[in-house]
Amino acid sequence: MALFPPDAKTKEGSPFWSGPKRCPSPIEFSVEDDIHFQFVHACANLIAFNLKIEQVRDEAKARALAAQTQALAYVQSKIVVETPEQQKEREEKKLPPPQAVSGEDDEEVLQKLMVELKGKITNNIQVEAIEFEKDDATNFHIDFIHATAQLRARNYQITECDFNKTKMIAGRIIPAIATTTAMITGCVAAEFYKFVQGWTDIEKFKNAFINLAVSIFLISEPDEIGRTKSKDYDPIMGGAVKAIPEGYTIYDKTLINAGSLTFQELFDFLKEKVGIDVSMVACGKVALYNAWLPS
């Protein structure tokens, strides 16, 4: 947040935090706040269940224990963030990328925690997995999800919801993860196995259409990728089309490393270097420049 404070401005002078971008803010723990306490109480009891140690279900006792614990102060992470505009300016000036501020990164912190954890684990420790169940009011599952969601909403100034809505949403998400998401992940992973093994025959790859509601599984061979080729006359463009390079696909790109150019400077560059006249510039379905339209 220190890199982009609430009143941060973009290069153009407009607010950086606007529209869907919400400025996060730290929350200072207070045992008197019911949501704060619910988060700590539920999280602690879930970990206790995992480790098969005695849970503290009495809220009064849990509040007393939480009140005796001093929460660590929030420390702003020191990182280097470069916006696309700043990166472009730096590359035009041929300057080196910014160096990260010295300090522990996430990997170093995790390694230290792993060493600390191994020192506390004994051979007698027993760990039990938690199977999610939204309809058990005593297992702290929905309590933890609800408290976590509310705290995140406060971080980003998002409207909070009540407990019943959290329970309803969680009840929909978990079955979706266990069915549709698992099925899609499995299909994609199977294709990844083929790719990393160096398979190149397109007949060995598959497209999958699956509808679990009616148990439809349609597996088909993918088509060859479409390639753009030069034409003397294209009915859509209304004139000749030159493919550079010949047979490029939507996954290819041509990098013009000539700095920041206006359209006219780009057109002059292509005319001089490649010998073509540009009649249209499009981005997706939007035409940014059309030579046949009145200026």
Q: Per residue in 54-108, pLDDT tens?
A: 999 999 999 999 999 888 888 777 677 777 777 888 888 888 877 665 556 678 8
Task: Print pLDDT tens along the chain (295 aa).
Answer: 556 788 888 777 888 888 888 888 888 899 999 999 999 999 999 999 998 889 999 999 999 999 998 888 887 776 777 777 778 888 888 888 776 655 566 788 888 888 887 777 666 777 889 988 888 989 999 999 999 999 999 999 899 999 999 999 988 887 788 888 888 999 999 999 999 999 989 889 999 998 888 889 999 999 888 898 888 888 887 888 878 888 989 888 888 888 888 889 999 998 998 888 888 888 878 888 888 877 6
pLDDT for the residue numbered 292: 81
pLDDT for the residue numbered 140: 95
Neighbouring C-beta atoms of residue 242, cutoff 10 Å? 13
Query: In the chain, what is the greatest distance between 2 CA atoms, to the nearest angstrom?
Result: 83
Cα–Cα distances in angstroms (integers) from residue 188 to residues 148, 200, 206, 210, 212, in the given order:
31, 16, 10, 13, 16
pLDDT for the residue numbered 104: 62
* Continuous segment of H or E residues that includes residue 220: strand 216-220
pLDDT for the residue numbered 161: 93
Q: Residue 48 in contact with residue 56, Cβ under 8 Å?
A: yes
pLDDT for the residue numbered 243: 84
Q: Residue 42 in contact with residue 49, Cβ under 8 Å?
A: no
Domain boundaries, the chain: 34-160, 173-220, 231-290
SS3 state at 149: helix
Cα-Cα-Cα-Cα torsion 11, 12, 13, 16, nearest 10 degrees, comes to -60
* Alpha carbons 146 and 149: distance in angstroms, whole number: 5
User: pLDDT tens digits for 204-219?
Assistant: 999 999 888 888 999 9
pTM summary value: 0.59
